[in-house]
Copies of this chain bind each other. A is one copy, B any other.
Amino acid sequence: MTDAPMTAQAASTATAGDILSSHLTAQAGAFLRALPTAVGEVGARPGAGVVPPAGTADLLRAVRRIGGLLHTFGATFEQTWAQESRTELRWLLNLLALEPGYVRRAARLLGALDALSGSETDGAGMLAGHAGVPKARALLDRQLTLARTRAHSTVLQELRSARLHALADRMTLLVADAPLLEAAGGRAGAVLLPQAAAAFGALTASAQQLPLRRAATPYGGDGLRRLGAVPAARGEVDADAALAADDAPWHRVRILVKRARYALEVCGRPAVELDELDGVLGRHQEAADAAVTASTAARTPRITPATAYVLGVVHADQRLEVEAARYAFGRRWPELPPGLDGWLEIPPAEGWGYTPAPRTA
């Protein structure tokens, strides 16, 4: 709403369609402004920074919000159009997030290795001076650089594709005229609140399925041992499958937290608690991904035992980070209201949309 503020007067009489169109116009505009910059950035350099460059970050931000809005308030849009748009936005999201993801993962893993092998006077690590550290570092660096380079080529290629042009055209149309259904003519509260409530309901239901009580007790070893139920049909239990199955519900909750965040933004409400939860689950996901990279690297043929040993320590260290993130989530979650109360309750006197939402990524 920061991009398209309304007066209190206008807001109090707004229809659902007004609110949604205003949001979509703002975000589609942001998309179109960020797109050429992002394409230029990707084309100009192989992306070395930890933070994605400004254009790509803005583009990702708009893509996430438009996709979330089309999902949460889907009942208000023409179904086929909304579905297709979401598919194309998800494609672009996965594409754009790939390279910065590898950059962040490299920073995380090499940073962890540096901390574990640090030799400062009051910050030495359990791998200080270990012969395997330089080799493990070089191996991780090489594998992640390779993955990033591959991702970069893919992105470069796709950014010239007809598919992206089609998506840009779709966004251009959206700025002018979102394909709303008749229902969008209703009062914002009556139309949007139930849909936002459903997003919060989905979040609450999924979060309550998480082993939160266990996670809120520190040092339960849950990220390393006692992983969740593994699909029995697989027969032989393999650690990768067990870890993936253990992490999956947390990744799912992260998606639902993001959707709830974006729904709050549409309602013009601050979403500080959800921002924090999103950050915690973001750390969870990055640590889980980094752990997979470490354990995969340890399976590289012909590495030395010292290298493999160091990668074992790094793998466990990242699983410990996973456990720490779950602990942080478990501690924060119960502080949140169980449902919509307090978050989505909109005093009729105030109406919609004139509480500016903080601008966050």
Contact = CB atoms under 8 A, between A and B. Distances in A.
Contacts of A239: 124-130
Contacts of A218: 218-219, 324, 327
Interface string A109-152: 00000011011011111111110000000000000000000000
B327 A126 contact: no
A43 to B, nearest CB: 39
A106 B354 CA distance: 65
Contact of A116 (B118, B224, B307): B224
A316 interface: yes
Contact of A121 (B224, B230, B236, B315): B230
A323 interface: yes
Contacts of A230: 119, 121, 124
Q: Determine how many copies of this chain the complex contains.
A: 2
A119 B226 CA distance: 9
A219 B284 CA distance: 13
Contacts of A219: 218, 320-321, 323-324, 327
Interface stretch (A45-53, A297-305, A336-344): A297-305
A243 interface: yes
Interface in A283-341: 291, 295, 298, 303-317, 319-321, 323-324, 327
A326 to B, nearest CB: 10
Contact of A128 (B126, B238, B327): B238
Contacts of A223: 126
A173 interface: no
A236 B295 CA distance: 29
Nearest to A321: B219
A212 interface: no
Given A309-B308, A309-B309, A316-B320, A225 B126 contact: yes
Given A238-B129, A310-B312, A320-B320, A225 B305 contact: no
Counting chain B CB atoms within 10 Å of each CB, the highest count among A223, A308, A309 belongs to: A309
Contacts of A224: 116, 125-126, 313, 317, 320
A10 interface: no
A237 interface: yes
A229 interface: yes
A320 B321 CA distance: 11
B324 A243 contact: no
Nearest to A112: B225
A119 B298 contact: no
A232 interface: yes
Contacts of A128: 227, 237-239, 242
A82 B223 CA distance: 50
B123 A225 contact: yes
Interface of A: 115-116, 118-119, 121-130, 218-219, 221, 223-230, 232, 236-239, 242-243, 246, 291, 295, 298, 303-317, 319-321, 323-324, 327
Given A126-B315, A308-B309, 6 more contacts: A123-B225, A128-B227, A129-B238, A130-B239, A219-B321, A316-B316
22 contacts: A118-B225, A119-B230, A124-B242, A126-B319, A127-B239, A128-B237, A128-B238, A128-B239, A129-B236, A219-B323, A219-B324, A221-B317, A305-B308, A309-B315, A310-B312, A312-B312, A312-B315, A312-B316, A313-B315, A313-B316, A316-B320, A320-B320
